[in-house]
Structure 1
Amino acid sequence: MAAAEGAPLTGVALAAAPEAAPAGWTAITVTVEGAAANLGKGFGHKGGGYLCVSTGGAQAAPGPVVTDVQVLSDRSPQPAGYTRAPEFPEPRTVVSRKKRVYVKLLPLDTAETAVFDIKLSSKSKALPHYMKIGEMGSFAIWCKKGPVLKSSPQPVPKPRTISAGLRQLSLQPSASDQKSPGARGSVKRASQHESLYDASNIYGLSAMDGVPFTLHPKFESKLSSGSNAILADLNVKSLADIEKEYNYAFVVERTAAARLPPSVC
């Protein structure tokens, strides 16, 4: 079944005249061929009668929608789950009609399909994509059904969980480690890295984490004698000393460039 455009109908009724339809209702005044859609004097009023439809308009909360329409004779029993279409103005009880219109209404949340449009035509006319529901007077009545589009609820993101492997790489102690006797030492070591690395994920770990720092033996004696002993071996050169030491005149390159190619006899 193809999806229907627009909003589903929220009501189907009968009106003695187009102006008798209350606010929110639209009278079907012409057929698909362009003829007047007056159902005739058999409706019970001198001026005839018209089918009316309602789409509900802008509603704060979605109400029931029309899921089916049936046109039956006055001798047929009322179908289960259907209500008789209202009439505007309210008819007298003495008025008899050969045909009656019954409407099935369901809440929008439970309706799978709904009626989106109703048209009238001559009895010999066929309307594509429409289903014939009956005849009244000299007209055939057609309805167009389609699936009800319902808004899906917004997905709720699931909370992220840290796997056991990533939890073992974290520098932060677990609840069980904090209760152990050596928890204080581990907490102290972990706090030393918090200012430099983010221990909440594996990308905050450094390649030097856990590697102890030791000084080379050749520098231990100088370090113990003071910082001046280390600076004594440093040879500070000025810019002139550096230029003199690394001065290169490019004599070989210039001589090679100045040679003339051998003449050809």
Structure 2
Amino acid sequence: MQDMRDALPGADVMPVTGLCIVADPSNCPPGHTLIDKTYDRREDADLWKDRFFGRRITRYMCMENSSPTTEKDILVDITVINEKDPVPAGYACQEYTQDTREKAMKKKQLCLRWMNISLTQDAISEIMLMSRGRRTPAGFTLVGELNNLQLCFKMGQISRPSPTETVANSLPPSYMSKPPTYTMDARLNGPPATQLPYGVTPNHSNTTSSTLQRSPPGDRHLLNPLAGIPWQLNPKLTADTSFRNDTITQISFKSYADIENQYSYKFTTEHSAAARMPPELS
């Protein structure tokens, strides 16, 4: 993690694509990094620190950093709430441990917000735990406290997959093995042709109908299903001139990503203020 913090500002980072809590450090999932030490003092980063009839109960956080893909969401925000508080909209609660399916936190809930890479350019790249009362390092955001440990994360700018990679990853293997081919009748103009069980004689006159000629089933032609159909405005509308001077207001289209980027608010100040409140007021 130290090498990641020493990276140049603005460089592309590996976002967090997985985060879980385990009861046994040896059960850290493959590809994940176990956060078992605090960043400042290198002390035990146990999130529970309790004993039950002589048996020690432990909880450790594990995170996964990997290259962003459209098939795997990335972590964009973390918040810590009290045990009985409702989970914020758009967040998922890390309620149970990954290995034993036991309660993950004591008196607190860890809530995560995941998002597809196509909807954001920023994501959480680093997560660390610090001793209580320590100053948050530059570039990190203080989330809150978990068992007298301060949880902090760092945001980073990620690089999105190219449009070609996005389309390729979204198509089933059957489409990737053999690209589709199309046949165009040289006599016709229009989109790629399709095989139909009848032949079409294009009508080059100004009449309003096309001539479709039946052909034997064994003599099917590859042609366009819309061939021979004239495209023209209804004569009733041609005679009506009342709408020609009307002005149509331009309505700008906004995708979900545009709306998310324009109105996104991370509540960083509120989270920092809430984390500094005394426990009896939280």
TM-score after normalising by structure 1: 0.51
* d(CA) in 1 for partners of 2:98, 2:156: 28
Amino acid at match of 2:32: W
CA distance 1:77–1:59, shift in 2 (3 Å): closer
User: Identity of aligned pairs, percent?
Assistant: 23
- Give me the CA root mean square deviation: 2.7
Partner of 2:34: 27
Partner of 2:101: 91
Listed one character per residue, the Cα deviations across residues 155-196 of structure 1 (whole Å, up to 9, x for unaligned) are: xxxxxxxxxxxxxxxxxxxxxxxxxxxxxxxxxxxxxxxxxx
Which structure's residues are more often helix, by fraction?
Answer: 1
Q: Is the 8 A contact 1:4 1:145 kept in 2?
A: no
Partner of 1:18: 25
Which structure's residues are more often strand, by fraction?
Answer: 2
Larger of the two Rg values belongs to structure? 1
Amino acid at match of 1:98: K
The alpha-carbon deviation at position 73 of structure 1 amounts to 1.0
* d(CA) in 2 for partners of 1:43, 1:64: 36
CA distance 1:61–1:150, shift in 2 (3 Å): closer
Amino acid at match of 1:39: L
1:130 paired with 2:140, answer yes
Q: Is the 8 A contact 2:123 2:156 kept in 1?
A: yes
Structure 2: stretches of 5+ with no match in the other structure: 1-8, 165-282
Matches within 5 A, 1:1-265: 3=10, 6-33=13-40, 34-42=42-50, 46-55=56-65, 57=66, 62-85=71-94, 87-92=97-102, 97-126=106-135, 127-153=137-163
Listed one character per residue, the Cα deviations across residues 6-34 of structure 1 (whole Å, up to 9, x for unaligned) are: 30001221111211222122210111121
Amino acid at match of 1:120: L
Q: Which runs of 4+ in 1 moved over 4 A?
A: 42-45, 58-62, 151-154
The alpha-carbon deviation at position 51 of structure 1 amounts to 1.2
The alpha-carbon deviation at position 43 of structure 1 amounts to 9.8
Listed one character per residue, the Cα deviations across residues 179-220 of structure 1 (whole Å, up to 9, x for unaligned) are: xxxxxxxxxxxxxxxxxxxxxxxxxxxxxxxxxxxxxxxxxx
The alpha-carbon deviation at position 138 of structure 1 amounts to 1.7
CA distance 1:4–1:38, shift in 2 (3 Å): farther
* d(CA) in 2 for partners of 1:96, 1:63: 25
Aligned residues: 151
Q: Is the 8 A contact 1:115 1:144 kept in 2?
A: yes
Amino acid at match of 1:41: K
* d(CA) in 2 for partners of 1:70, 1:43: 26
* d(CA) in 1 for partners of 2:22, 2:126: 17
